[in-house]
Chains A and B, each alone.
Chain A
């Protein structure tokens, strides 16, 4: 029993060490071998452009659902006019970035780990080495960069459409006053809230890129191995997003207190 636990612990520590080394190599790769247009353009199309519809759909529904739920609670207390800031803060600093990241981890991260896993089991990673390319610099660094830069951008789209969805639901369908909705929102929402949301999105983008590429590189032989790598990539990204969101909320709150109080 204790021996098993010790073995599991050692395995987790070894895995963490491998992931840290892999991540460091991916970041170093950005400076050693700057990703070129030939690598970046397809990634921007795949990760950025093709994710826009799903991100917009997610954002719109998140905004509308939050509006419905917040309205239901505030209506009981007769405080519907406070809905605007609560809905919009939830969207821009918490639920918008987290849900956009989870959707992107499924769509983009899953595709990346499956692609790299397939490259691993079909010896394409070995072929890269024989042709003088470092697979981490060549494949992972550009994907990490694309996720790191594009996930925040997609989060901004998601937030914008979420704010719009929340507004339409609250004002057009639930009957909250247009004036009170925006007046209260302007009073309570600060640029800091938007900054926190986008700041989190950079972290989410980075971890999605690194975790999903790492899991792809670690894929075992065969279709089953690639399938398992893809599932592991999503689960690990999901946990990293939720756990990271918690720690970043603490971090940003402390930073706010340090800077403004």
Chain B
């Protein structure tokens, strides 16, 4: 992969840039988030781990304001975004980039149009500048000569990387990754991990990564939080998490079945 960005020294911020406070959320009577609390420091990578269906993606969608909590608050840079109207929320979202689990590329648009989408909406650049930025971001994620292809012509790994290029096109302050390595082969998964680290170094962005891939979590995390039953049950540095005595966390990070079959049946 080519390296088009310069590394910066990214110092952690003084306080949390994102603060999720006692958030509850239910869907059709199913209580998914049950008073969840989470703080994410600026310029750091917070990895949220947890089993499938525990509400990790729901948490990300609350952070970017796609979902609103039934109760509780989501504070971003001192603003309670759960109270904002859609227009104001749209302005806040322009400071975020989000990488979706299945990439969520727009099927009817080419790769270039996908990556350029947010830039065109923002209206701050002319078409030549937009094309330059798009090609630059595609090079950053290790893709060349794909700008005129349609998403259906790309492999899973390429789609994921185009999704990352789209998320970072406008140099957002915060990047949210929803299961970035799920469904990829081990080498491509590591390519994506390297990519997240490189983006972190070149853009000094705050990242929140939702995953159940522990190898990925240890590689990219400054801090790890474990989610279960709609709450954060433990958080700490990767070293602290690895040496935890909490049996739930310990079982998850070691991938032990124990009585999980009974719990899930």
Q: List 14 A-B contacts (CB under 8 A).
A: A42-B108, A123-B100, A123-B104, A124-B105, A126-B98, A126-B100, A127-B98, A127-B100, A130-B97, A131-B117, A131-B118, A132-B90, A132-B94, A134-B90
Chain A residue with minimal CB distance to B96? A130
Interface residues on A, range: 10 to 19
Q: How far is the CA of A119 from the CA of B106 in the complex (A)?
A: 8
Smallest CB separation, A34 vs chain B (Å): 14
Q: Does A133 contact B (CB under 8 A)?
A: yes
A-B contact count (CB 8 A): 48
**With A131-B118, A131-B121, A133-B121 as contacts: A126 and B61 at CB distance below 8 Å:** yes
Smallest CB separation, A26 vs chain B (Å): 15
Smallest CB separation, B161 vs chain A (Å): 15
Interface centre among B61, B66, B100, B104 (most CB of A within 10 A): B104
**With A122-B102, A123-B100, A123-B101 as contacts: A130 and B93 at CB distance below 8 Å:** yes
**With A126-B61, A126-B66, A127-B98 as contacts: A132 and B104 at CB distance below 8 Å:** no
Which residues on B sit within 8 Å (CB–CB) of A128?
106
Interface of A, secondary structure class, is: helix
Q: Does B245 contact A (CB under 8 A)?
A: no
**With A124-B104, A124-B107 as contacts: A130 and B98 at CB distance below 8 Å:** yes
Chain B residue with minimal CB distance to A127? B104
Chain A residue with minimal CB distance to B91? A132
Which residues on B sit within 8 Å (CB–CB) of A127?
98, 100, 104-106
Q: Does B74 contact A (CB under 8 A)?
A: no
Q: Is the CB of B122 within 8 A of A132?
A: yes
Chain B residue with minimal CB distance to A129? B66
What sequence of 0s and 1s flags, for each residue 72-107 of chain B, a beta carbon within 8 Å of any chain A beta carbon? Answer: 000000000000001000100110111011101111
Which residues on B sit within 8 Å (CB–CB) of A132?
90, 93-94, 118, 121-122
Residues of chain A at the chain B interface (Cβ within 8 Å): 42, 118-119, 122-124, 126-134
Interface residues on B, range: 20 to 34
Q: How far is the CA of A124 from the CA of B102 in the complex (A)?
A: 9
Our pick among B94, B102, B108 for the contact of A123 (Cβ within 8 Å) is B102
Our pick among A118, A124, A130, A133 for the contact of B66 (Cβ within 8 Å) is A130
Q: Does B64 contact A (CB under 8 A)?
A: yes
Which residues on A sit within 8 Å (CB–CB) of B105?
124, 127
Given contacts A123-B102, A126-B61, 20 further A-B contacts (CB under 8 A): A42-B108, A118-B107, A123-B100, A124-B104, A126-B100, A126-B104, A127-B105, A127-B106, A129-B93, A130-B64, A130-B66, A130-B97, A130-B98, A130-B167, A131-B117, A131-B118, A132-B94, A132-B118, A132-B122, A134-B90
Interface centre among A124, A128, A131, A134 (most CB of B within 10 A): A131
3 nearest A-B pairs in the assembled complex, by CB-CB distance: A127-B104, A131-B118, A123-B104
Which residues on A sit within 8 Å (CB–CB) of B86?
134
Q: Is the CB of A122 within 8 A of B104?
A: yes
Smallest CB separation, B263 vs chain A (Å): 23
Q: How far is the CA of A118 from the CA of B104 in the complex (A)?
A: 10
Which residues on B sit within 8 Å (CB–CB) of A122?
102, 104
Smallest CB separation, A113 vs chain B (Å): 15
Which residues on A sit within 8 Å (CB–CB) of B101?
123
Q: How far is the CA of A42 from the CA of B97 in the complex (A)?
A: 28
Interface centre among A42, A118, A119 (most CB of B within 10 A): A119
Q: How far is the CA of A126 from the CA of B121 in the complex (A)?
A: 15
Smallest CB separation, A123 vs chain B (Å): 4
Which residues on A sit within 8 Å (CB–CB) of B121?
131-133
Interface centre among A42, A118, A128 (most CB of B within 10 A): A128
Q: How far is the CA of A126 from the CA of B90 in the complex (A)?
A: 12
Interface centre among A42, A124, A126, A130 (most CB of B within 10 A): A130
Q: How far is the CA of A118 from the CA of B152 in the complex (A)?
A: 14
